[in-house]
Amino acid sequence: MFDVSFTELIVIGVVALIVLGPERLPKVARTVGHLLGRAQRYVNDVKSDIQREIELDELRKFKQQMDSTAQDVNQSLQQATESLRSTGDTLRAELDDTARAVNEAAADIERSIAPPATPALATEDRPPAGAPAGHVESIPAGAPETPPAAPKTPPTGNAT
């Protein structure tokens, strides 16, 4: 801080002894020592405050860098999410279109293969013609409702 050699200190001490005298010199030396101590503490406090401010400024810059980096990462994640979402929506739409086309093709194939649908006739339980009372015969759906014709009997040989 101050560049004072030992010989300069001796000269200052001798001058102080002559000017102040031997009675007041110890009190003045004590007071000067206290003042120098306070000055050193004050300078050290100022140095530490400056150092803290510098560190705080560095931390603020570091925080700003981290915030900007976090913001960049957040934006890239949002962009990736939007990209994946749009890709998923596109794929979903394509799959829906494909499924619709497959269903339509399957329906067309079924229409071309299957005969035209006729209304299904309910199975009725009724006795056939000429059946004894209490006899019930099941007629399958789609069977004709007329009773079967009686078998023809061959002509007998009595032809005259």
Say what angle helices 25-113 and 6-20 make with each other, to 10 degrees.
Answer: 130
Is 3 domain-assigned? yes
Residues 45 and 67 in one domain: no
- For tokens 């014709």, the residue is 149
Cα dist. 132→126, 138, 144, 145 in Å? 12, 15, 21, 18
Choose the final residue of a domain: 28, 53, 78: 53
* pLDDT tens digits along 123-137: 555 555 665 555 555
Is 160 domain-assigned? no
DSSP 125: E
User: How many separate domains does the chain show?
Assistant: 2
Percentage of the chain lying above the pLDDT 90 cut: 47
Residues 45 and 73 in one domain: no
Task: Say whether pTM exceeds 0.95.
Answer: no
* Mean pLDDT of all residues belonging to the chain: 81
Torsion of CA 88, 92, 97, 101, to 10 degrees: 120
Choose the final residue of a domain: 111, 131, 155: 111
The alpha-carbon radius of gyration of the chain (Å, integer) is: 59
**20 confidence band (pLDDT: 50, 70, 90):** confident
Is 139 domain-assigned? no
Q: What is the pLDDT of residue 49?
A: 95
Is 146 domain-assigned? no
* pLDDT tens digits along 51-70: 999 999 999 999 999 999 99
Q: Residue 70 sits in which domain range?
A: 55-111
Q: What is the pLDDT of residue 6?
A: 84
Is 92 domain-assigned? yes
Is 68 domain-assigned? yes
Sign for the pseudo-dihedral over CA of 52, 56, 62, 66? positive
Residues 60 and 106 in one domain: yes
Residues 43 and 61 in one domain: no
CA dist 30 and 138 (Å) reads: 134
Residues 83 and 45 in one domain: no
Q: What is the pLDDT of residue 133?
A: 58
Residues 40 and 65 in one domain: no
Contact 142, 120 (CB under 8 A): yes
Percentage of the chain lying above the pLDDT 70 cut: 69
CA dist 91 and 37 (Å) reads: 79
